[in-house]
Amino acid sequence: MNTIFTLRRLIAPLSAVAIFASCYSLAQADDVSEAHLAAAQKAITAIHATDKFDDFLPSTARDLKNELTLKDPNFSDIISSTVDQQALELAKRRGDLEREAARAYAKHFTEQELNQIAAFYESEAGKKLLAEGPVATRDIMQAFQVWREGIAQDLASAVGKELNDKLSAKTQTLNPNAGSPQPAAK
């Protein structure tokens, strides 16, 4: 009971802090010039920063259709057309994500840097990096795996050999007769 009461007392101050922080960040984002935002938009378009989110609305609509159709299979046509219609209406809001992504980039990069980023990724080398970069990264990870296993084996082998040598020498020092052959018992 005391924990719940304490948590309830913290909700109002924490909410106020969250609201203040979001208002502050929005105010900071509004300080960005239109040219800076345009450069950010050009950069995020060039690097395809938001492309991975393209499937969200269609997959969410599909999941909702499936869920609603399971509840009322007799109305699957109405459900499907209604979900499709509403999803198309919401598709107009895709630009909101683009604007927020541009603001995020504008917050972290200068206008000049964003123009340089866009210029590079619009070049043939930049386009190739976007296309082949993930494959190259996969190849690097495979090379790391082989290298890592080799290093781990070599480290264990080298440490084992050196410890064996050092421990043998220490045993010899503590017990000088330990290493010399003993005469055979008659």
pLDDT at res. 26: 47
List, as one string, the DSSP characters of 94-157. Answer: HHHHHHHHHHHHHHHS-HHHHHHHHHHHHSHHHHHHHHHHHHHHHHHHHHHHHHHHHHHHHHHH
The domain limits of the chain are: 32-122, 124-172
For 70-88, the pLDDT digits (tens) are 999 999 999 999 999 999 9
Backbone angles phi, psi at 46, to 5 degrees: -65, -35
Q: pLDDT tens across 115-160, in order? A: 999 999 999 999 999 999 999 999 999 999 999 999 999 999 999 9
Predicted TM-score (pTM) of the model is 0.61
The DSSP secondary structure of 45-79, one letter per residue, reads: HHTTTTGGGTTHHHHHHHHHHHHHHHH-GGGHHHH
Answer left, alpha or beta for residue 48, where phi above 0 means left and psi between -120 and 50 means alpha. left
Task: Say if residues 48 and 130 touch (Cβ distance below 8 Å).
Answer: yes
Amino acid at 88: L
